[in-house]
C-alpha cells in the first residue's frame, strides 16, 4: 500500500500519463493554452488533425470495422489516428489516465499482418481501437479504482471482458478516468483531477464512466467499456451526447475489475458499451455474448444474443407489429428541467404520427421508495472499505463522496448485521415484484407496455459537484432493467427558459429547480433513456431501432 504523501502520488500518476502521451508518434499537435480554450471544445480537434485522421476518427465503429476487414484501412493507421485524437482530448478535458502507444501499435501491426497473410479478419472486432475505463483490469497495468492508496495495485491478468474483446480482434490503446470511490455521477479524483464536459467545460462529464463519455464525445474513441451500478454508463453517455447501454445483470462478465464492495450481491454492477453509434452498442453486445462467456464464468446467464430477432419482439397476439411506449415525464420526486421536457415533447410528437407506435403516460410507482431501498443496499458495510481506502492515504474526501456516503439517511454509519442485510434484500425483492405487477397491469387495454421512455436525469449535465439526484438512473439498477441512452437535442436558452412560478415538491426538487440557469448550460447535450423489463435487453435494441427508423434521424437536431 502506498505510504508517500497523497500529493506526491498524484504527481507521479500525472507524470506517467504525460510521458505516455509524449510517446505517441507522430506527436500530438499543440493545443491552445487553457486561457484560449473555449467553453465548447468539440470543434478544436478538427483544427489540429489532418483530413485522413479526421475521416477515421469521425467514422462510427461499424464503418471502421468494414474498412478494416476489407483492408481499405490498416489497423495501424486507425489506431494511430485515435491515439493522437485521444491525446488531444486529454489536453482539452482531462479524460485519460494513460495511453498505450507501444502495445497498441504492436497489436495493430500483428493484425494487419494476419489479414494480409490469411485474407480474412481475425474476428468481428478486427483492428478496432477500444477504450477502457481504468478500473477494468489489464495485466501488468495499474488498477487504482480512483483511490490514491490503491495506486500501486496492478492487474494480475486481463479482466474477462478484455480477454473476450481481444479474442474478437480489438486493439486496446487508452484507459480513462473515473471518480473517487467509483460512486459519483461525475468524474473527479485526487490522482488526476476533474474530467469536464467537452460541450461546456463548466459542466460535468457525468460519472462514473466520465472519461469514456468525454473521450467518445471528442472522438478520441468510437467504442469503449463502461460500468454501471447507479447510472455510471448512462449519466456520462447522456451528458456527452453519445450512445450507451446498461444491460441486465449477469449477461456480460464482471471478473477482473477492482472496486469496493466486490462480492456484494444486493445491487449488482454491470459492464456495457459506450459508443459513437447505436450499431456500436449492438456490435459490442453481440461480439461478447456470441463467445458464450458463461462457459468460463458460471455466474453468467446462458442466454444467447438474439438481436436482430428471427421474429419481432414487438409482434402482438393479433399478429400486428406495434411498439407500445410508456412515457415518464417526471418521476414524481424531482421534475426535469425544461430542455428535458422539450426533448420528450419533440420525440413523442414525431412518434405520434407513426401508426405502429402507441404512446401512453406511465405513472411512476413509488420512485421515492426506490431510492431509500437502493441507497441502503449500496453500503451494507457502512462504507467501511471506502473509508479505509481514503484514510490510508490521507487524501481528502471529495464533495460527492461526502454526499453519497455521509448525507444519505439510509446509508448506515456501521456495518449491517447479516439479518439486517437480509431484511433490506427482502424489501428490494418486494419492490421489484410490485413494479413488475404495475408494468403487467399496463395490459388492461390489450397488451403491456414494451418499453419506457424517460429522462436520464433531472436536467442536462449539471455544473461541477452538483450531480446529487440519482433517481432517474438508480431506479433501473434497483429493478435490474436494461436501458439504452441516446442523444435527442441540445440545450437552447431561448427554447428552454426557466419555468416561472413553479412550486417545488420537496427539498430535492427545490435544489434541482434552483440549479437551472439556462445561460450556464449553453450547448449541453440532452438525451433520453429507453428502458425494458428485466432480461428484455434485445427488445430494447429492437425498440430503439424502430424509433430511429420511425423518426428518420437522431439526434432530432444537429449538435452545434
229 labelled as ligand-binding?
Answer: yes
Chain segment 86-144, per-residue pLDDT in tens = 999 999 999 999 999 999 999 999 999 999 999 999 999 999 999 999 999 999 999 99
pLDDT of amino acid 24: 98
Residue 396 has pLDDT above 90, yes or no: yes
Mean pLDDT over residues 476-501, rounded? 97
The C-alpha cell that represents 538 in the structure block: 434485445
Is 527 marked as a binding-site residue? no
Q: Which residues does the annotation mark as catalytic? A: 133, 208, 232
* Overall average pLDDT of the 499-514 stretch: 97
Percent helix, strand and coil across the chain, each rounded to 5?
Answer: 40, 15, 45
HEC profile of 123-135: CCCCCCEEEEECC
Q: Name the residue among 333, 403, 410 with its Cα closest to residue 364.
A: 333
* pLDDT digit string, tens, across residues 508-556: 999 999 999 999 999 999 999 999 999 999 999 999 999 999 888 778 7
**pLDDT band, residue 426 (cuts 50/70/90):** very high
pLDDT at residue 558 in the model: 55
Q: Cα-Cα-Cα-Cα dihedral of 356, 360, 366, 367, to 10°?
A: 60
Instruction: Report how far apart, in Å, the C-alpha atoms of 225 and of each of 230, 274, 536, 546 are.
Output: 16, 6, 21, 25
**Confidence (pLDDT) at 559:** 58
Question: Is 182 labelled as part of a ligand binding site?
Answer: yes
Q: What is the mean pLDDT of the chain?
A: 96
In tens, the pLDDT along 357-386 reads 999 999 999 999 999 999 999 999 999 999
Residue 127, annotated as binding a ligand? no
Span 26-47, mean pLDDT?
Answer: 92
* Residue among 168, 74, 79 at smallest CA distance from 124: 168
CA–CA distance, 540 with 249 (Å, rounded to integer) = 15
Residue 291: CB atoms within 10 A of its CB come to 18
User: What does the pLDDT average to over 184-203?
Assistant: 98
Residues 6+ apart with CB under 8 A from 190: 6, 10, 148, 180, 395, 396, 398
209 is in an annotated binding site: no
216 is in an annotated binding site: no
Average pLDDT over residues 193-218: 98
Average pLDDT (448-463) is 98
Is residue 468 helix, strand or coil? coil
- Kindly report, residue by residue over 221-274, the tens digit of the pLDDT: 999 999 999 999 999 999 999 999 999 999 999 999 999 988 899 999 999 999
User: What is the set of domains in the chain, with CATH numbers?
Assistant: 6-295 (3.90.1300.10), 323-380+416-551 (3.90.1300.10)
Amino acid at each position: 500500500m502506498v505510504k508517500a504523501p497523497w500529493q506526491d502520488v498524484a504527481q507521479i500518476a500525472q507524470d506517467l500519463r504525460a510521458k505516455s502521451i509524449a510517446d505517441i508518434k507522430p506527436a500530438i499537435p499543440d493545443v491552445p493554452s487553457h486561457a484560449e480554450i473555449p467553453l465548447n471544445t468539440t470543434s478544436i480537434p478538427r483544427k489540429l488533425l489532418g483530413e485522413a485522421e479526421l475521416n477515421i476518427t469521425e467514422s462510427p465503429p461499424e464503418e471502421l470495422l468494414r474498412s478494416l476487414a476489407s483492408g481499405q484501412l490498416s489497423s495501424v493507421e486507425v489506431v494511430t489516428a485515435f491515439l493522437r485524437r485521444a491525446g488531444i482530448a486529454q489536453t482539452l478535458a482531462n479524460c485519460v489516465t494513460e495511453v498505450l502507444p507501444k502495445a497498441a501499435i504492436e497489436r495493430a501491426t500483428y493484425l494487419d499482418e494476419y489479414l494480409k497473410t490469411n485474407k480474412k479478419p481475425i474476428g468481428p472486432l478486427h483492428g478496432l481501437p477500444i477504450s477502457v475505463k481504468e478500473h477494468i483490469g489489464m495485466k501488468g497495468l495499474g488498477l487504482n479504482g480512483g483511490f490514491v492508496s490503491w495506486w500501486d495495485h496492478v492487474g494480475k491478468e486481463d479482466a474477462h471482458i478484455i480477454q473476450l474483446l481481444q479474442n474478437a480482434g480489438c486493439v486496446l490503446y487508452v484507459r480513462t478516468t473515473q471518480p473517487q470511490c467509483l460512486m459519483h455521477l461525475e468524474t473527479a479524483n485526487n490522482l488526476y483531477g476533474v474530467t469536464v464536459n467537452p460541450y461546456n467545460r463548466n459542466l460535468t462529464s457525468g460519472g462514473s464512466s466520465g472519461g469514456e463519455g468525454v473521450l467518445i464525445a471528442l472522438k478520441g474513441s468510437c467504442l469503449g467499456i463502461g460500468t454501471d451500478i447507479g447510472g455510471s454508463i448512462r449519466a456520462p453517455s447522456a451528458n456527452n451526447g453519445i450512445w450507451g447501454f446498461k444491460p441486465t445483470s449477469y449477461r456480460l462478465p464482471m471478473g477482473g475489475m477492482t472496486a469496493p464492495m466486490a462480492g456484494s450481491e444486493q445491487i449488482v454492477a454491470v459492464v456495457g458499451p459506450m459508443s459513437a453509434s447505436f450499431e456500436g452498442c449492438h456490435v459490442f453486445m453481440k461480439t461478447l455474448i456470441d463467445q458464450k462467456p458463461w462457459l468460463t464464468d458460471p455466474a453468467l446467464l446462458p442466454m444467447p444474443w438474439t438481436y436482430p430477432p428471427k421474429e419481432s419482439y414487438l409482434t402482438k397476439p393479433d399478429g400486428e407489429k406495434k411498439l407500445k411506449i410508456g412515457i415518464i415525464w417526471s418521476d414524481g420526486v424531482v421534475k426535469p428541467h425544461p430542455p428535458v421536457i422539450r426533448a420528450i415533447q419533440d420525440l413523442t410528437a414525431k412518434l405520434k404520427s407513426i401508426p405502429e407506435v402507441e404512446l401512453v403516460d406511465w405513472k411512476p410507482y413509488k420512485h421515492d421508495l426506490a431510492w431509500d431501498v437502493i441507497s441502503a443496499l449500496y453500503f451494507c458495510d457502512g462504507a467501511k472499505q471506502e473509508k479505509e481506502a481514503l484514510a490510508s492515504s490521507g487524501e481528502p474526501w471529495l464533495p460527492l463522496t461526502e454526499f453519497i456516503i455521509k448525507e444519505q439517511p439510509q446509508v448506515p454509519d456501521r456495518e449491517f448485521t447479516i439479518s439486517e442485510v437480509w431484511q433490506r434484500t427482502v424489501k428490494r425483492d418486494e419492490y421489484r415484484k410490485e413494479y413488475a405487477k404495475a408494468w403487467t397491469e399496463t395490459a388492461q387495454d390489450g397488451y403491456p407496455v414494451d418499453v419506457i421512455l424517460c429522462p436520464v436525469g433531472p436536467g442536462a449535465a449539471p455544473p461541477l459537484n452538483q450531480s446529487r439526484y440519482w433517481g432517474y438512473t438508480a431506479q433501473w439498477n434497483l429493478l435490474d432493467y436494461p436501458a439504452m441512452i441516446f442523444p435527442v437535442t441540445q440545450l437552447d436558452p431561448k427554447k428552454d427558459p426557466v419555468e416561472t412560478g413553479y412550486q417545488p415538491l420537496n427539498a430535492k426538487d427545490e435544489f434541482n429547480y434552483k440549479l437551472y440557469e439556462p445561460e450556464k448550460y449553453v450547448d449541453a447535450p440532452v438525451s433520453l433513456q429507453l428502458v425494458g423489463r428485466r432480461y428484455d435487453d434485445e427488445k430494447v435494441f429492437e425498440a430503439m431501432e424502430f424509433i430511429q427508423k420511425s423518426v428518420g434521424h437522431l439526434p432530432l437536431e444537429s449538435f452545434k
